[in-house]
Structure 1
């Protein structure tokens, strides 16, 4: 891989150990994937944040990197969800030792120049690249959204690679950074109209079939951004889809080369209904309804506030979102409406990376196919899958 003179100096440690270590990672990735060079990026989104997933070794690695004050992020960079609500972990019953370690991880990232606004929907809190920008994002659902809906260019990076890219401001030029790799190789014909959790079911079906390929959808109705967020999260979790196209919706659909896609799949109403049923793993009632995977938008919080307004919720309700979106919900009165009904808006974390298996819950109600896919395997708990209005029960 060709390096500029400055990049060679970075590799040689002339800009400090943290930058040298970061360049080692980027050069290794470039060599593995045959990248001819590094490309400048405008944005990064870093995963590997929850103490549940990176543990003590990850914390020590980050604190070691943070000792070098020359090795800090040079571009807009945000963090993925941690394992707790960073400010209110005691209020919601997160384990104390876990929560202390979790805050230490986020503080270390902060010393590295990564913004401590933790969310899997960075495009809702100001980390919004432009069409065609080269970026380095790592959270799977965020990658699917930013590639597909915004039209920026990123591979599905690992946490260390995205952190290295944030610090250096560059990433290897390969994969979805190249226009020729952003064409469709599957045609997905959807024969039914979709709403709500149907989009998660569709993504789950398609992800299982296409793996890491690029699907091109024809839909009977136009999805909004929340639907696209839901679809991409399911595509990325049941398969490893990092880019999709929707006819007349996403910005690159006209250049996706649909005609040359060699494989096809038809999805019927029956397929959607069967998949929705299959994502539920128990007949028991949920003891926690957890919405916001990916993190809830202000519009989604408004919808829940309208559902619960003036009522009393029977089961515990968490809506997971960023602290920035919650601030907007506070001002709009949605938070008070939800809290008056017995629910809570939980910041920073989500049901997948939080230690909910240690907090007395057994069955989690979710409207996210990504959560339905991951909670049984990562948390060991059962899930009930459905739309928010059906999951929330009232006294």
Structure 2
């Protein structure tokens, strides 16, 4: 890489970080999650404005492979931290309700997404028809767990029973959605060895049953004999890379390996690493690497070419995405005895898609399952469904109701069903 290319890369990174930071702050001032502004920054720096003049000048062809590499690294680290922060205790005491709501919020949008895919496939070339249909179902079923946590915090719901239930539902739903996406990746990207995907089950079992206890034992031994940070950090980095490479070999995306390895790390055996080292890495990922991912994703979005037909398809996509998630979560809540207002809150919260949806869509584009125009429409859907969550939440569940209401109650009599 020449000196001029390096200079352009550094300038591009500076522009990306500053733009994402400014628009993220603007989004927060408007009562939205910062990720909304950061995604918008990636889109605005892409070909949507001025016919691609900005992206062509700041991000010429020579620097884009380096940006893509940084973006891939950022996504893998993000998925690693999602797995790392996955709290298995969320289901404690409300496993039945969370499971039913999660399945409802997966099955209904998945089914509607499949029907939508069959409709869209009639008017465009989609490659593998089965992979496309399953992918659209999975994409409609996604909920962004980390963005949801941020919204709950901003609305003072994180420590409430309904907030805990929403997080539990999102956690279960995300695991199911990633499993669906893994099937799609195996169908579309398995190459000449689709049987390799069968290794993912024993691989996950080895991570949880062998690697997790070994890392916990290593951490405990190093804690007794001396500093543990350097040794364990190297072990974690090596494990992350090997896990990502393993799932790539299986025909899946590297993000699945990163997620599985994060979920396999012991929660109690690595306190120094969790409290001192990993937060810094997570911060670097959030401030630098993820904005680069938003930019790389935005380079493939061109909203300037949308016509009347595209707007009609966008309206249909939004109807399926919003209606499927809300209806599935609401019905699941009511079936398990959650009061109507709280069931509506769950339906609104489950529509949060954010960064997780962006990762899913990027994987679909890389696999050739999504066409560029449909990818652009789905990006808009992810933005709209995430942006509307906080607004609708404040209408349906204002702060005074948070103070007045107690936990969502099990329905034991008709009177208890009334909010």
Is TM > 0.5 for Structure 1 vs Structure 2?
no
- Greater fraction helix: 2
Higher relative contact order (CA 8 A, sep 6+): 2
- TM-score interval, smaller chain: under 0.3
How high is the TM-score relative to the length of structure 1? 0.27
How high is the TM-score relative to the length of structure 2? 0.26
